[in-house]
Amino acid sequence: MSTNYPYYPARALVDLAAIRSNVRALAAHAAPVAGRSAQVMAVVKADAYGHGLVPSARAAVRGGATWLGTAQIAEALALRAAGLTGRILTWLYAPGAPLGDVLDADIDVSVAAPWALTEVVAAARERGRTARVHIKVDTGLGRNGLLPAALPAFLAGAVAAQSAGLVEVVGIWSHFAFADDPTHPTVLAQADTFDAAVRLAERAGAHLEVRHLANSAATLTNPRMHYDLVRPGLAVYGLSPVPDLAGPQAYGLRPAMTLEASLATVKTVPAGSGVSYAHAYTTTQDTTLGVVPLGYADGIPRHASGSLPDHPGGPVRVGTGGAARTLAVAGRVCMDQLVLDLGPDAAEQAGDRVVLFGDGLDGGPTVQDWADAAGTISYEITTRLGDRVPRVYLGQD
Ligand SMILES: *Cc1c(COP(=O)(O)O)cnc(C)c1O
């Protein structure tokens, strides 16, 4: 939490046992295909998709991940500083990045452009180290990476640096544009382009340790794409990367995060009362309102505001036992709070626990339900969870 003060009226419970078990499930998905078994790199970028970088990374390692992956250099360095000793790959940086620090921390580094190789080589020379590099190829995503046409010249430079002892080309890697649509024609086309890049690198003199292409969706749905290493992120946290195909349970995954809050104010209001900014919601009967102390500054999407009947808001589980029910946010999500219409017979009181999302096994709302309510993907819900919401870790072993 950003202020380090221990009180907050809401919290994100992160079940580390779920993360361990999800990684074990992913390792089973990556288990021998045609006699070959792929390792698992748990992607822990963006504060482990909002779950907390270091505790999540430790749990992933306990679950069997032999690699950790981060977009940002700062995240990779934080893992090392916390004492994680396994292989780490970091892949997103701009000219002038502190690559010497990356090499000193024994972190593998992606190179996605000629300038990046130049800077890695300079850092290796300056620090007296050999950089382990993974060449990122743009096989069709149209994002980071070298286009295939640029590869031959690039490989010549990389292999020359390898001969000089400054780098070791240990990986070729790429990323899919349509991994969540496993039969999309671009998937096989990207794999063909990837295979050609691997052959080119090997012929140029690279001794590849890992070829890797699969994110969560490809890990779960497309064994042909596993190669030597899979790079799941979302699935590590128990969320389905292919919600239109199947939920997490179908893949042996369990959502790790539960977001809960304590009701701040509970009060009765008459029918016809406007609720929250611009009165986007109006009560239709004498009823009870409950104020939930979470808002868009905590990462609750304002797009999940509710103006019945045309646009129900994001779901919140209220009550326990027979009184348990899932309500939709009433009116605008504000910066720090949102409102529920608890109904005329509500027994809830200030201080009672409500759940915005959890593992869904009790029929309660999930991260995916919030993504649907906000017109986005589950990734955005957990990664945007506010820094000020405390993470409480369960299931430590
Ligand atoms: C984020 C990321 C991943 C993980 O993707 P998921 O869809 O969360 O599994 C894998 N590889 C790269 C390059 C990424 O940026």
Domain chopping of the chain, boundaries: 16-242, 257-394
CATH superfamily label, 257-394 = Lyase, Ornithine Decarboxylase; Chain A, domain 1 (2.40.37.10)
State yes or no: pLDDT of 36 exceeds 90.
no
Q: Which residues are catalytic?
A: 45, 277
Identify the helix (H) or strand (E) that includes residue 54.
Answer: helix 53-62
pTM over 0.75: yes
**CA 231 to ligand 1 center in whole angstroms:** 6
State yes or no: pLDDT of 199 exceeds 60.
yes
The pLDDT mean for the chain works out to 96
State the pLDDT confidence band at 237, using cuts at 50, 70 and 90. very high
Spatial contact of 245 and 258, defined as CB atoms under 8 Å apart: no
State the pLDDT confidence band at 37, using cuts at 50, 70 and 90. confident
CA distance 14 to 257: 5
CA distance 93 to 105: 16
State yes or no: pLDDT of 42 exceeds 90.
yes
Residue nearest to atom 13 of ligand 1 (CA): 175
CATH superfamily label, 16-242 = Alanine racemase (3.20.20.10)
Q: Which residues are near ligand 1 (CB < 6 Å)?
A: 43, 45, 71, 175, 215-216, 231-234, 241
pLDDT tens per residue across span 66-120: 999 999 999 999 999 999 999 999 999 999 999 999 999 999 999 999 999 999 9
**CA 207 to ligand 1 center in whole angstroms:** 24
* The pLDDT value given to residue 2: 59
Atom number in ligand 1 closest to CA 144: 13
**CA 234 to ligand 1 center in whole angstroms:** 8
Residue nearest to atom 15 of ligand 1 (CA): 71
State yes or no: pLDDT of 270 exceeds 80.
yes
* % of the chain at pLDDT higher than 70: 98
State the pLDDT confidence band at 140, using cuts at 50, 70 and 90. very high
Atom number in ligand 1 closest to CA 234: 8
What tokens appear for 176 in the block? Answer: 């899919």
User: Which residue's entry shows tokens 């389905």?
Assistant: 240
Q: Measured between alpha carbons, how far is residue 146 from residues 19, 154, 175, 346, 370 in Å? A: 33, 9, 12, 59, 36
